[in-house]
Amino acid sequence: MAKPRIEFVCQSCGAVAPRWQGRCDSCGAWNSLVEETVGAPSRSAGKGRVFALFDLGTATLPPPRTTTRIDEFDRVLGGGLVPGSVLLLGGEPGIGKSTLLIQVCGALAAQKRRVVYISGEEAIDQVRLRAERLGLVRAGVEFAAETKVEDVVATLHEGPAPALLVMDSIQTMWTGTVEAAPGTVTQVRGAAQALIRYAKTTGASLILVGHVTKDGQIAGPRVVEHMVDAVTSFEGEGGRDFRILRALKNRFGPSNEIGVFEMTGRGLVEVANPSALFLSHHGEATPGIAVFAGMEGTRPLLAEIEALTAASPLGTPRRAAVGFDPNRLAMILAVLEARAGLRLGQHDVYLNVAGGLRINEPAADLAAAAALVSSFSGRSLPPHCVFFGEIGLSGAIRPVAHSMARLKEAAKLGFTRAVVPPANPEPREAGPENMATKSCPEVADLVALIASPERPAKADGR
């Protein structure tokens, strides 16, 4: 047998170096290399047929799904858990990952499916206390506090494969096949590999919990992200009770869906109508607040964009954005200045998406611009009005997708007007009743609309 080798593995990206160095050549992280001992790689016999080859043209059915009946969870996965698939759930400590997963386990167990929850972090009593609080002690979830994957896999092979296996968390798991210390990249990768092999061969769905570092990366095992079928993150804003489950990668479904939950004294509760959650000033006339009719994945979502502009005492005014891309903010400010003559150059500008939501859609440009113009001019926006549209560098407002879904969601929540891009190429379907749309071809028109003493009281017929 070949002798074990020593190598230095970057704990941040998994790159291997032959000797220690202060900085990883691959990802540039400092002090991230850790000495690890690796065993000799196993050699396959190299003779005979080991596996079957398939014709790619053979028709396959879409993967069957196991629905948990927690809709917000199922939707993010693309319609439920896919048997034999592996999901990585990342999130900061204390955000509610264990709570979410024990509820998912409970929901599946209630459908008389075998569910196994392995905790490497908490003792049996802690997990039982939480389950009691959630009313799930008698749900029939099988539980163990264990950290060695070989033991877990051997124990599971004793019975039928579970419909769902949860490993909380992957950083606490270790395998006897590699000699590195627990928590190192080599260990985490080795443990994940063994578990993924178990899931793929038995058809059990596997969920791995992963901690994230402060900058939002799944700590250590970035490598694990490449080994799994789907990566989701569970996020929340400090001090607020709602939590967002976001798909970051999904081999079996869309990767831009979100699920919204609220953390209550009795666990996580689904929020079926999240738009209402992210609107607070609905109806009040405060300058600097615009409502954006957005889309998160397949679902429309209304969000409030707040802007504050104030004359700056500084030579270089401050520009800050929370929940909004700072580069897009800079672009919108430049377009407002160049195309609509808004003199924001000597003003501090703050832009915030209320409720801790993050907006990545260019369609939010028009709403952001409306909030900025409103704050700058001190004039509040028309009441019960939503905005959407992308702003081009020429100042033109570009059409965006899903305008009908946006309008319908706004109408559902009691909004009666919408400022939209001109000639949105949508099927000529009639818009929602009681919704007056006003088309806005240029940013200058937006400024005129907000500054004009006469409010767009009537629809322009579009």
By CB under 6 A, name the binding residues for ligand TYD: 91, 93-99, 130, 133-134, 263, 265-267
**From ligand TYD, Mg ion, none, which one binds at residue 114 (CB under 5 to 8 Å depending on kind)?**
none
What is the rounded radius of gyration, in angstroms, for the C-alpha atoms of the chain?
Answer: 26
**From Mg ion, ligand TYD, none, which one binds at residue 275 (CB under 5 to 8 Å depending on kind)?**
none
Cβ closer to ligand TYD: 64 or 93? 93
CB of 168 to Mg ion, least distance (A): 6
Cβ closer to Mg ion: 98 or 437? 98
Cβ closer to ligand TYD: 97 or 299? 97
CB of 266 to ligand TYD, least distance (A): 5
Judged by CB under 5 A, the chain residues 77 through 106 that form the site for Mg ion are 98
CB of 277 to Mg ion, least distance (A): 24
- Please name every residue paired with 88 in a beta bridge, in sequence order, or none if there are none: 208, 231
Cβ closer to Mg ion: 91 or 382? 91
CA proximity to 290, closest of 305, 269, 310: 305
Number of residues that bind Mg ion (CB under 5 A): 1
CA gap 193, 224 in Å, rounded: 9
Cβ closer to ligand TYD: 96 or 421? 96
Taking each helix axis from N to C end, the angle separating 185-202 and 149-157, rounded to the nearest 10 degrees, works out to 10
CA gap 109, 370 in Å, rounded: 49
CB of 222 to ligand TYD, least distance (A): 19
CA gap 84, 229 in Å, rounded: 10
**From Mg ion, ligand TYD, none, which one binds at residue 398 (CB under 5 to 8 Å depending on kind)?**
none
CB of 129 to ligand TYD, least distance (A): 9
Which helix (H) or strand (E) segment is 306 a member of?
A: strand 299-311
CA gap 428, 113 in Å, rounded: 47
**From ligand TYD, Mg ion, none, which one binds at residue 367 (CB under 5 to 8 Å depending on kind)?**
none
> What are the DSSP E strand ranges found in 346-435?
347-353, 385-387, 390-391, 397-398, 417-420
| DSSP helix/strand/coil, 150 | helix
Strand 33-38 relative to strand 164-168, pairing: unpaired
CB of 267 to ligand TYD, least distance (A): 4
**From Mg ion, ligand TYD, none, which one binds at residue 96 (CB under 5 to 8 Å depending on kind)?**
ligand TYD
CB of 278 to ligand TYD, least distance (A): 20
Judged by CB under 5 A, the chain residues 5 through 64 that form the site for Mg ion are none
**From Mg ion, ligand TYD, none, which one binds at residue 65 (CB under 5 to 8 Å depending on kind)?**
none
Which bin fits 31, alpha (ψ -120 to 50), beta or left (φ > 0)?
A: left
Question: How far apart, in Å, are the Cα atoms of 373 and each of 230, 286, 444?
Answer: 41, 13, 10
CB of 211 to ligand TYD, least distance (A): 8
CB of 257 to ligand TYD, least distance (A): 20
**Helix residue spans in 203-284 (DSSP H):** 222-227, 274-277
Q: What number of other Cβ atoms are within 10 A of residue 17's Cβ? A: 14
Sign of the dihedral defined by the CA atoms of residues 362, 364, 370, 374, in that order = negative
Cβ closer to ligand TYD: 127 or 340? 127
**From ligand TYD, Mg ion, none, which one binds at residue 99 (CB under 5 to 8 Å depending on kind)?**
ligand TYD
Cβ closer to ligand TYD: 39 or 356? 356
**From Mg ion, ligand TYD, none, which one binds at residue 95 (CB under 5 to 8 Å depending on kind)?**
ligand TYD
Taking each helix axis from N to C end, the angle separating 326-340 and 443-451, rounded to the nearest 10 degrees, works out to 80
Cβ closer to Mg ion: 209 or 418? 209
Q: Looking at beta carbons, which residue is closest to Mg ion? A: 98
**From Mg ion, ligand TYD, none, which one binds at residue 294 (CB under 5 to 8 Å depending on kind)?**
none
Cβ closer to ligand TYD: 19 or 266? 266
Contact 210, 221 (CB under 8 A): yes
Contact 392, 424 (CB under 8 A): no
- List interacting residues with Mg ion (CB under 5 A): 98
